[in-house]
Structure 1
């Protein structure tokens, strides 16, 4: 009888363990089902977001294509001669506060792909003088082929605002080339000359010109898109400053967009006519 009882206890234990195992298995299965359902919901949500992003990307691509088609249809084959009038007005309204050179547009020059094309080789062009006889803008695609071999001769053209005089450091003004002589060989060209203080001309403008000249001399295949724009406030005859933009083609060895104030330490300038007062 005792032996039969013991056998019964063993069978009961095995049955209980089997039941527990089945219960645990069932519980684990339910957990996996819940997790799987959660994963499916997350996947569906991500897929929906992905579809929405694809739709947004497609809309943006369509807008880009439309804009490119519009630009292509309205392109007359000319480069942009100047920065925008709004940008020039903003620069003209700036007052010098102690820093002669400031960065414009995060130092990014505002040239289009058309502006930077090298298909026509190196070139240079100069805007006509305005109704007040002031220089406007000088543009070029610079290359070593434009650089002069002859020594520069003296200048005779007097640009607007030319009321020069000696100060303690030398002459107050220079006949400042928009595009430096060493880059294109343009010299006594009224369209390429403005009245600039000594500090504007050198070291400020000259420092950038030297960087460009060095880059161009490294290889005959080097090109730099370049634009220099004198900035006038209203009908003043003396420029408030000059904007210089440059971009080397194919790399960023030369890349800048700066505005340099036309000022001279220790001298008060009358921008209406270029006269000045020391002290």
Structure 2
């Protein structure tokens, strides 16, 4: 009888030890996943008040937070990754974030993305006002040249030609050129800023930070206006008209 009790106690201790060991493994795995996959903010989490921004005049961008990105120290320590926030209940993009390195950059040409229709995308042409006529582009939040992500609805917004070429392109090229030149990593985030239930964003918050040199090579935090000179946009629906 005593021997049976001893064996039973040993089995119980063994099961407890196994359970504790498995719990430790699960905690370590969860911690590792969070470390390598930091959360992506939604459009409601932008760390500034859009209402306080100056109205667009002539500059395609506005510097935010003294040009210092809002990344946490934890985000700066992660390995290479790319994450795209889920579309919200109105079908709008949220935020896209990546730790970009050379290995992530595409070697192939960009493919067709016309099957993607971002929220508020209404085809409109103004041949005498816009270089290629079309008001809207399917704008990548994180540029194709950085991550090779192409026909992904979670990475494409309705953006004006002006936003795409005059606002975002300069900063995308800046980050891409730095990565190619140095082989270092750039932490990059693009967050569309919507007002209320608008289907077209008012602009995009772009943040970038070069990791290996602590921001010495790349560090910016800018808001790119989603406007088009000479055009009035109804951000609620995506409809547009010529300015009077």
Residue in 1 aligned with 2:229?
Answer: 265
Judge conservation of contact 1:133–1:160 (CA < 8 Å) in 2: yes
1:234 to 196, 202, 208: 196
Helix, strand or coil for the counterpart of 2:74? coil
Match for 1:104 among 24, 45, 64? 64
- What residue in structure 2 maps to residue 151 of structure 1? 109
Whether the 8 Å CA contact 1:89–1:233 is kept in 2: the answer is no
What's 1:79 paired with?
A: 38
Larger Rg over CA atoms: 1
Distance change (3 Å), C-alpha of 1:83 and 1:102: farther
- Correspondence 1:132-171 to 2 at 5 A: 132-155=90-113, 156-167=115-126, 168=128, 169=130, 170-171=133-134
- Kindly state the Cα deviation for residue 219 of structure 1 after the two structures are TM-superposed: 3.2
- 1:183 is matched with which residue? 146
Query: Would you say how many aligned residue pairs link Structure 1 and Structure 2?
Result: 203
Counterparts in 2 of 1:29-48, with a 5 A limit?
A: none
Q: Is the 8 A contact 1:101 1:260 kept in 2?
A: yes
Larger helix percent: 1
The equivalent residue for 1:63 is: none
- What are the Cα deviations for residues 35-74 of structure 1, in whole angstroms up to 9, with x where unaligned? xxxxxxxxxxxxxxxxxxxxxxxxxxxxxxxxxxxxxx9x
- Per-residue CA distance 1:121-179 (angstroms, 9 max, x = gap): x1101000000000000000000100111110111201001012111222101000000
Contact 1:230 1:241 in 2 (8 A): yes
2:77 match:
117
Q: Which runs of 5+ in 2 are unaligned?
A: 1-30
CA distance in 2, matches of 1:237, 1:162: 8
Secondary structure, aligned partner of 2:99:
strand
After TM superposition, the score normalised by the length of structure 1 is 0.68
Does residue 1:91 correspond to 2:53, yes or no? no
Q: TM-score, normalised by structure 2?
A: 0.78
The answer to whether the 8 A contact 1:244-1:257 is kept is yes
